[in-house]
Structures are given as structure tokens and as C-alpha cells.
């Protein structure tokens, strides 16, 4: 239902946020205003495609475009070019769209938009430290890198516009790759067992055969990790403990200046966005599952 609400909110953005953004663009010179309007429509179209046909690439794009729309709505409201009703409507609508785009429910639908056959993909939680600066800045670099050049060129600033385009496009490309890596971190249930897909912590995808999974159970957020391989990168909500009946070989992703490292693990911990559904799905696939501890309220 939340995904359908996101679609409805995004489809109606030209009506709810469009008047305020248009009023803000009217304060610009004609040529930059025309380019700005084209960029707004392009961003809306990309978001529309992402919501109607969810895929990891669309998830990456929408989670960059939606905050940019919210920032534009706030700027228009602060500038005082739109009426109070239009400004408030634009800020509220874009804020709702941003929150719904960040909802794990949409991430789950997008992840399974590229699932193969009888498999189910569950997104891993984003490391919390990234929200404190790196993630918003990377999204800003992506949007600004693509939009700054055309706007400067339309304003007649040829030198700065060319420089912004030459520098901005590669920066946006790198930012998109970094953000897309976050959209492709999953715990996958397949007929043969459980697969961890996370290039931020593992150099390669790892399949853990069902017959070697001794137990899959919820782990309370406050529980210490113990002597296991912790792949959560600081995330704690939705923690899962995956235990094996014999040591499993993992190839840990290397840090800058260091190569990948092979380690043996008797158990590992991950953090997923919808733990209860994952445990239910794993049980249906005959993975040894321990039900969620009622005392543990994190999902």
C-alpha cells in the first residue's frame, strides 16, 4: 500500500508542487528558466518511471531526485515567489515523496524487480553513519553535477558552464555508482539456501547452502555481536544471526590500499529492512529458523 501511495504522490507532483516551482522559475531569466523547467520535468519523468517499474537503478535515481525536489520546493517557498498555499503544498508534497522513497517497502519492491526465478531479495540496511553527511552530499553531487552545467550555459556563462559540465558529468557518474552500490545490497533467499550480496563488505556474492545453515534467528539491536563476522557496518535494527554447521569461507572486501582477505566464519550478522518477512520466507523454504524474540522490538 505504501508503494501505491508513493506512486499517487509522485504522479500528482505537477499539480501539488508544480505551481510553486513554476513561480520560482519565473524570477529567473527566460533561458535558464526554460532549462530549469525542462530539468524539473526530466526529474519527474525519471521518478515516475522508477515508481511504476521499480528496479534498483530506479531506486537509486528516485532517492536522489526526491530530496532534490524537496530542496527546490523549500527554496521556492523561502524566495516568496509563490503564494503561501502553493508553497506549503509543494513543501509538504515533496517531503512526503522523499519519505516514501526512503521507505524500506519501496526498496523491497525495487530489489525484487530484478529477481531471478524462485528467489526473494531483502535489502540490507544502509549504514547509519552515511546519513550524517556522505549520503546527502553524494546525492547532491549527482544532481548538481548533471544540472549545473546546462543552467550556467543557458544563462550565458559559457566558460563556467563548460567547466561545470566537464567536471560535473564525471562527478555525477561516480556519485551514481556509489549510490547504486547501496541499492544492490541484499540478503537473498534462493532454492539452494541463502545468498549475501554486499560488495561493501564482501568481494563476491556468497551462497550458504540450506543444509549447512544451522540456524537463522533474530538478534536484538542491543546484543553484542560476539565472536562472529559482523557485516552490518554499524546498522543494528533488523539484525539477523546466520549460523553454520561448519566454517564458511568468505572473501572480505579489501580496504583502500589492501587486497581482499579470506576468512572462515562459523556465523555472521547482517541487518535487513524487513526481518519478520524474511524469517517467514526462510521458514517456508525449509531453512532452520528461530522465531523473532518477543522481547526484541526492532524490525
Are residue 239 and residue 112 in the same domain, yes or no?
no
Task: With a cut of 90, say whether residue 64 has pLDDT above it.
Answer: yes
Residue 192, domain extent: 186-290
Residue 162 lies inside a defined structural domain of this protein: no
Q: Strands of 193-197's sheet, edge to edge?
A: 120-123, 186-190, 193-197, 206-209
Q: How much of the chain exceeds pLDDT 90, in percent? A: 66
pLDDT of residue 292: 55
Burial classification of residue 27, based on how many CB atoms lie within 10 Å of its CB (0-12 exposed, 13-18 middle, 19 or more buried)? exposed
Q: Is the domain of 232 the same as that of 119?
A: no
Q: Is 151 part of any domain?
A: no
Q: In the predicted model, is pLDDT for residue 294 greater than 60?
A: no
The verdict on 178 and 231 lying in the same domain is: no
pLDDT band at 290 (very low <50, low <70, confident <90, very high): confident
pLDDT in tens, 209-251: 999 999 999 988 766 666 788 899 888 889 999 999 888 888 8
298 within domain boundaries? no
State whether 46 and 177 are in the same domain.
yes
Rounded CA-CA distance 147/145 in Å is: 6
For 266, the grid coordinates are: 562459523
- The pair phi, psi for residue 282, each rounded to 5°, is -65, -40
Q: How confident is the model at residue 265 (pLDDT cuts 50, 70, 90)?
A: confident
78 and 14: one domain? yes
pLDDT at 83: 85
Mean pLDDT to the nearest integer, 181-199: 93
Q: Per-residue pLDDT averaged across 162-167, rounded?
A: 95
Pair (246, 278) in one structural domain = yes
Among 164, 182, 200, give the residue marking a domain's end: 182
Do 116 and 208 lie in one domain? The reply is no
Q: What is the pLDDT of residue 92?
A: 96
User: CA dist 284 to 214, 217, 275, 289, Å?
Assistant: 16, 14, 14, 10
Query: For the chain, how many structural domains are there in total?
Result: 2
pLDDT at 84 over 60: yes
Give yes or no: residues 178 and 190 share one domain: no
Condensed to tens digits (0 to 9), the pLDDT of residues 127-137 reads: 999 998 899 99
Q: What is the mean pLDDT of residues 116-124?
A: 91
pLDDT score recorded for residue 297: 46
Are the C-beta atoms of residues 137 and 156 closer than 8 Å to each other? no
Same domain flag for 8 and 88? yes
195 plus 116 within the same structural domain:
no
**Do 102 and 232 sit in the same domain of this protein?**
no
Average pLDDT taken over every residue of the chain: 89
23-37, 244-258, 283-297, range with the lowest pLDDT: 283-297
* Residue 248 sits in the same domain as residue 178: no
pLDDT at res. 116: 86
Amino acid at each position: 500500500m505504501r508503494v501505491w501511495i508513493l506512486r499517487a504522490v509522485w504522479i500528482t507532483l505537477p499539480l501539488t508542487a508544480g505551481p510553486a516551482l513554476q513561480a520560482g522559475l519565473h524570477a529567473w531569466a527566460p533561458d535558464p528558466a526554460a532549462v530549469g523547467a525542462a530539468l524539473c520535468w526530466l526529474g519527474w519523468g525519471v521518478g515516475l518511471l522508477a515508481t511504476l517499474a521499480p528496479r534498483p537503478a530506479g531506486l537509486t535515481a528516485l532517492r536522489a531526485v526526491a530530496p532534490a525536489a524537496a530542496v527546490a520546493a523549500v527554496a521556492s517557498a523561502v524566495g516568496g515567489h509563490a503564494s503561501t498555499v502553493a508553497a506549503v503544498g509543494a513543501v509538504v508534497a515533496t517531503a512526503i515523496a522523499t519519505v516514501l522513497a526512503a521507505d524500506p517497502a519501496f526498496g523491497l519492491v525495487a530489489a525484487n524487480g530484478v529477481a531471478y526465478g524462485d528467489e526473494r531479495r531483502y535489502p540490507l540496511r544502509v549504514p547509519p553513519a552515511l546519513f550524517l553527511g556522505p549520503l546527502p552530499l553524494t546525492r547532491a553531487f549527482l544532481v548538481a553535477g548533471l544540472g549545473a552545467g546546462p543552467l550556467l550555459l543557458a544563462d550565458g556563462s559559457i566558460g563556467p558552464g563548460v567547466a561545470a559540465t566537464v567536471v560535473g558529468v564525471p562527478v555525477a557518474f561516480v556519485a551514481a555508482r556509489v549510490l547504486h552500490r547501496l541499492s544492490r545490497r541484499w540478503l537473498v533467499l534462493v532454492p539452494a539456501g541463502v545468498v549475501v550480496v554486499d560488495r561493501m563488505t564482501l568481494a563476491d556474492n556468497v551462497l550458504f547452502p540450506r543444509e549447512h545453515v544451522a540456524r537463522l534467528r533474530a538478534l536484538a539491536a542491543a546484543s553484542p555481536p560476539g565472536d562472529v563476522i559482523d557485516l552490518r557496518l554499524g546498522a543494528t535494527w533488523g539484525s539477523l544471526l546466520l549460523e553454520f554447521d561448519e566454517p564458511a569461507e568468505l572473501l572480505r572486501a579489501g580496504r583502500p590500499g589492501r587486497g581482499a582477505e579470506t576468512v572462515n566464519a562459523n556465523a555472521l550478522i547482517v541487518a535487513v529492512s524487513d526481518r519478520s518477512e524474511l524469517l517467514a520466507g526462510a521458514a517456508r523454504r525449509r531453512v532452520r529458523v528461530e522465531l523473532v524474540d518477543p522481547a526484541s522490538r526492532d524490525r
